[in-house]
Amino acid sequence: MIDAAAAAVGVADSAIVEELTGQLDGKPWIPSITTHNSTPNSLARLARHLQASCYIVIAFLSGMRDSENGAELHLMQHSAGSK
């Protein structure tokens, strides 16, 4: 059934067949988004970059600092263990 569906609709190397319109300096920012995890343009890799970028922006805008979070966690663990 899979082979029949592939023969009927075709198979592409990229998840997005349409033209990407996002540009940097007048050039497409990426040629295509692939579903193959081994490629730099894979959907999984781009999702991880987006997740990391969102974390950085939220941390910056909220004033969150990793060192402060670690110190607070250490104090909470210490106070919970002493009770």
pLDDT range class, residue 77, cuts 50, 70, 90: low
pLDDT in tens, 25-67: 988 888 777 766 777 777 788 888 899 999 888 888 887 776 6
Distances (CA, A) of 6 to 13, 15, 36, 64, 67: 12, 14, 17, 49, 52
